[in-house]
Amino acid sequence: MAVKEEFRQFEMEVGEIVEEMRSFTHEGSVATYIPELRHADPGTLGCALYTKNGTCVSFGDGEETFTLQSVSKVVALALAVMDSGEDQVFDKVGMEPTGGPFYSIARLALMNSSKPLNPMINAGALTVTSMIGGRTEAEKVERLLRFIRELTGNDALTYDSAVAASEFRTADYNRALAYLLKGEGVIDSDIGIEPLLDVYTKQCALSMSCCDLARIVFIFGHEGRSPETGEQIVPAPVARMVKTFMVTCGMYNESGELAIRAGIPAKSGVSGAILGSVPDGMGIGIYSPALNEKGNSRAGVELLKRLSRHFQLSIF
């Protein structure tokens, strides 16, 4: 009885914090460079927590669905390492943070090496996606869907075709990056750029709820194991590696600040999605589409900071 009462108190406190943070949604703007994303309601703030007992609790607008965008880079990285091996992936992509924009072409072109600095910027993510198993784009998309469904436990999960088509039509920066990477031999010569972009935009358009998001990151936080069966879905070293990237470059040019202010490994996307991992603890899924000047969810970042302070969640 005491445990149930404690959990109810926990739920009440989280719910109050989520509603307090909603005021920050007025300080951001939704992404418009992907036309379909401009339709999002900037006042939305949803959160879900996946707990050790296998329960997911939603708060605010936590039942809303949204696309992953760059949050998908975490999933694709794990899958590419599982399919192609760590040595092959990091022969093509580096492990260092970058101070430049996530879509930058200039930084890539001006470096002595054309190797992207890390898998969380677009150049690195395109390279990583090219190494997901499958002979055709259809096989790669199916491989990705099988993996994401296993991570979420949601067999109906798929991508938003309208968002994927919108991204594909407006992917000029990513096309330029991909052709540059192919020209430099980073992306293999036998890989077609248009098929690669088809896979990448569908990857970014994977659609889910905050509970789906929270379950994914719960698994990464628990050494890659299923919360129900204990099955090893992601090898433990891969899960640890992904969490490390989330700390060092998961929030772009806000990664260092969030590491200090919240201490929660996290990854963001321009849809307003954020996942946060509390190792051996909760999985946190957040959605709030109003973005700050760094391209991260304005209210989502503040919510992570506040949850960390209130419940002492920092890993440091």
Is 252 annotated among the ligand-binding residues? Answer: yes
User: What range does the domain containing 215 cover?
Assistant: 15-69+208-311
For residues 24 and 38, give the distance between their C-alpha atoms in angstroms, rounded to a whole number: 18
Check if the beta carbon of residue 316 is closer than 8 Å to that of residue 261. no
| pLDDT tens by residue, 50-78 | 998 889 999 999 999 999 999 999 999 99
| Averaged pLDDT for residues 188-210 | 97
**In 85-121, where does DSSP find H-type helix?**
86-92, 106-110
Q: What is the pLDDT of residue 59?
A: 98
Domain assignment present for 212:
yes
| Averaged pLDDT for residues 224-239 | 96
Domain assignment present for 47:
yes
Q: Output the average pLDDT for the chain.
A: 94
Check if the beta carbon of residue 196 is closer than 8 Å to that of residue 187. yes
Is 292 annotated among the ligand-binding residues? Answer: no
- CATH number for the domain spanning 128: value is 1.10.1500.10
- Contacts of 133-137 with C-beta under 8 Å, sequence gap 24+, read 133/79, 133/83, 133/84, 136/195, 137/195, 137/196, 137/198, 137/199
Q: What is the pLDDT of residue 7?
A: 84
Question: Are 197 and 92 found together in one domain?
Answer: yes
End-to-end CA, the chain: 33
Is 174 annotated among the ligand-binding residues? Answer: yes
For residues 275 and 118, give the distance between their C-alpha atoms in angstroms, rounded to a whole number: 19
| pLDDT tens by residue, 116-153 | 999 999 999 999 999 999 999 999 999 999 999 999 99
Question: Are 43 and 77 found together in one domain?
Answer: no
Q: What is the pLDDT of residue 1?
A: 52
Is 270 annotated among the ligand-binding residues? Answer: yes
In total, how many domains does the chain have?
Answer: 2
Domain assignment present for 290:
yes
Q: What is the pLDDT of residue 107?
A: 58
pLDDT above 80: residue 232? yes
pLDDT above 90: residue 109? no
- Which residues are identified as catalytic? 70, 73, 200, 252, 270
Last residue of a domain, one of 164, 186, 204: 204
Question: Are 127 and 197 found together in one domain?
Answer: yes
Exposure class string for 58-96: b at 16+ Cβ within 10 A, else e: bbbbbebebbbbbbbbbbbbbbbbbbbeeeebbebbbee
